[in-house]
Every structure is written in C-alpha cells, then in structure tokens.
C-alpha cells in the first residue's frame, strides 16, 4: 500500500520544524493528502508559504508561541530539535526537552488528539554494536553527547504523555538522507573536498539509513492509524530502509552521486575515539564553540554497527520503504547536479536554504 492509498483524518496538521529537511518532506506529503498544514519554526521559509503552508515563526522554548501554533490543529508532528554532536547542555536541553514539554502542554491545552514525535535511534546507543535489535533494547545508563541524552528524555516524555485524550507515538529514523539534505550529505562533500574524510575503523560495520521520503511516509502512516486503542499508541519504533548497508560503501555511493572519488583513507577506531576525547577537552578548556573535527560520540557512531529490526513498524502501522536505496541515490545525484548548476550560475543552492 503506497502513501496515496491511505487517508489521514485531519482538518489542520502542525509540523514543528517544517522548514527543515525531514519536516519539509512531511509537509509535502501532508499537502499531497489534501491536508491543511501549519509550520512552526524560527525562520520565515517563503518556499513553504508559496506552497500554501501557514508559516508561524517562534522558538520551541517559548511556551505561549508554541501554544498559539497548536491552536486549531488536531494533529502534531513534532520534528524540530537541536541536532549535533557538540554544544552546551543548555543548548540541547532547551529546545529538545523544554520544547517537547511545551508541545505536549499545548496539545493538551487545545484538545489535540494525536502527536507523532520524531526521535532517533541514538537514544538507545551506548557506544557498542547494535545488530538487528528491536524496541525492547533499553536506554543506556551513559551517553557521550547531549543530543542523544536530551532526545531520550524527550522521547520518554512524549510516550508517557500517551492517554485516552492524546495518543502519542515516537519514530526513530536513522541517518536520513536524500535531495535537500542540509546536514549529512553536505558534511561528507565538504570533508571530501578538504581531503580530510576518513573511514573510522576497519570499514566493515553495517548501519541502517533511511531515504527522506520514506521517513516522511513512516510519520504519516503512524499518524493515520494513531488512536487511544491503536497498537502503536505510547510506543517507539525504528524505521529505516529495511536493509543495513556497510557504512563505508554507503559513504562512497553518496560521494559517487556527487561525482567524487571514493574515500580510501582510514583511521583506527581507538585512535579516533582518543582524538575525540582530546579535542573535546581542548574545546571545553578554551571555550571554543566550533564543533571539534572528532568527538567520542562521533567516533563510536562511525566505527560500530547499528541496524535495527523494523518488523514492529511494518506490523503495527504498515510501514514499508517505498523508495529503494538505488532509486534514492539516483534522485540524490540529480538534485546535487541541479544544485551545483544553480550555484555556478550565482544562485544559492537549495541545500543552503533548507
């Protein structure tokens, strides 16, 4: 059953972070279903307004602004978050934890019945290999970065909020990529151009990824059947392409989509981890705000296997990846070529505006 084969009952849906990579894909999927959409984000995003989206500006930490954005909606996709591997605790705790608290409170205040929360598999990543694990895997007792720690707190809050009046579900998409990517793909390209891109570890670790439209479709599918008595109410789900890939091979396939040579340099996982610890200490002592070239969390992410059993998402709300990895890479290559052409002609590429 494809995205066009199901209906979401909603008079107006709110997407926090609607101007972002995944948020924008969810917005487009909702519009394709004929649903009125409101986006809540800090930027203006005129491209959303041009599509007929009601754009509301504000910060997740502003309780009243969040409440106003939720007014008149009956469905919320809470996608916005502070991502990244570096920054102060407050920089992550404010938007990720307080922001989620404000979205939940606003949902109760305005009688919203469904909340789909965008989480991350990093909430259960403790730094070791995770191969084919399902949602029964526990949260770790220790994290190496504020992002997964605060996302785990927020996920628990969202799931605990599930009730007869507000049905909630959390989705954990892993390594989202595709046209319009303003995070993962540009970082790969920039480091490859600098000559600093290296494989961490022996290059055989497998990971899950997910094409952006598949991640968006998973959100809509979860919302379509979400209700107090639904199987997914109050639960978290892994969603992915359904087939783990060797990380080094996927990196090189993405570089190939950009017309670039494969990465051949590597660094031992232990060396990368030690370098991350040293760089974190230096940046902390010298109060350097820029992200270190390596962190402990990033070293573990790049050198371990982390792929997940998505049978629960398939069973409970009919999720299936509709765009194959091969087709997604073709689309990525086409988008990148168009972006480069726009950049060469003096126009700002979409990756910079997303």
Check if the beta carbon of residue 41 is closer than 8 Å to that of residue 19. yes
Q: What are phi and psi of 330, to 5 degrees?
A: -65, -45
Structural tokens at position 94: 């404010």
The token pair at 232 is 């997914």
CA distance 52 to 167: 28
Maximum Cα–Cα distance for the chain, whole Å? 55
Specify which residues 12 forms β-bridges with.
36
Of the candidates 45, 147, 237, 273, the residue annotated as catalytic is 147
Distances (CA, A) of 5 to 76, 221, 318: 21, 10, 12
CA distances from 196 to 36, 91, 129, 264 (A): 45, 28, 25, 11
Are the C-beta atoms of residues 351 and 273 closer than 8 Å to each other?
no
Strand partners, 308: 133
For residue 17, what are the contacts with CB-CB under 8 A and spacing of at least 6?
A: 23, 39, 40, 41, 79, 80, 81
Angle CA 130–237–296, to nearest 5: 40
Query: Is 273 tagged catalytic?
Result: no
CA-based torsion, 60, 173, 84, 347: positive or negative: negative
Which residues neighbour 129 within 8 Å (Cβ) at sequence distance 6 or greater?
205, 304, 305, 306
Cite the active site residues: 147
């Amino acid at each position: 059953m494809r995205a066009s084969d199901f209906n979401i009952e909603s008079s107006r849906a709110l997407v926090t972070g609607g101007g972002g990579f995944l948020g924008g894909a969810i917005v487009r999927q909702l519009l394709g279903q004929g649903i009125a959409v409101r986006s809540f984000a800090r930027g203006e995003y005129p491209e959303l307004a041009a599509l007929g989206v009601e754009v509301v500006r504000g910060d997740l930490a502003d309780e009243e602004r969040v409440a106003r954005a939720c007014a008149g909606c009956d469905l919320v996709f809470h996608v916005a978050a502070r991502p990244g591997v570096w920054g102060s605790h407050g920089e992550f705790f404010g938007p990720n934890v307080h922001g989620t608290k404000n979205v939940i409170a606003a949902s109760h205040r305005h009688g919203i019945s469904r909340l789909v929360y965008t989480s991350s598999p990093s909430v259960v990543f403790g730094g070791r290999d995770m191969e084919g694990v399902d949602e029964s895997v526990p949260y770790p007792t220790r994290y190496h970065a504020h992002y997964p720690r605060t996302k785990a707190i927020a996920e628990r809050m969202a799931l605990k909020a599930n009730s007869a009046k507000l049905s909630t579900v959390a989705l954990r998409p892993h390594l989202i990529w595709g046209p319009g990517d303003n995070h993962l793909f540009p970082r790969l390209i920039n480091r490859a151009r600098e000559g600093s891109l290296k494989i961490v570890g022996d290059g055989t670790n497998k990971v899950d990824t997910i094409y952006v439209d598949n991640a968006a479709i998973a959100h809509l599918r979860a919302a379509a059947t979400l209700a107090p008595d639904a199987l997914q109410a109050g639960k978290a789900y892994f969603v992915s392409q359904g087939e783990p890939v060797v990380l080094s091979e996927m990196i090189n396939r993405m570089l190939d989509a950009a017309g670039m040579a494969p990465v051949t340099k590597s660094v031992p996982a232990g060396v990368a981890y030690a370098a991350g610890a040293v760089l974190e200490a230096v940046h902390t002592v010298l109060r350097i705000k820029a992200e270190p070239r390596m962190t402990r969390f990033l070293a573990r992410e790049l050198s371990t296997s982390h792929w997940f059993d998505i049978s629960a998402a398939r069973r409970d709300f009919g999720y299936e990846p509709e765009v194959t990895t091969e087709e997604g890479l073709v689309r990525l290559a086409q988008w990148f070529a168009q972006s480069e052409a726009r950049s060469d002609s003096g126009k700002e590429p979409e990756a910079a505006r997303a």
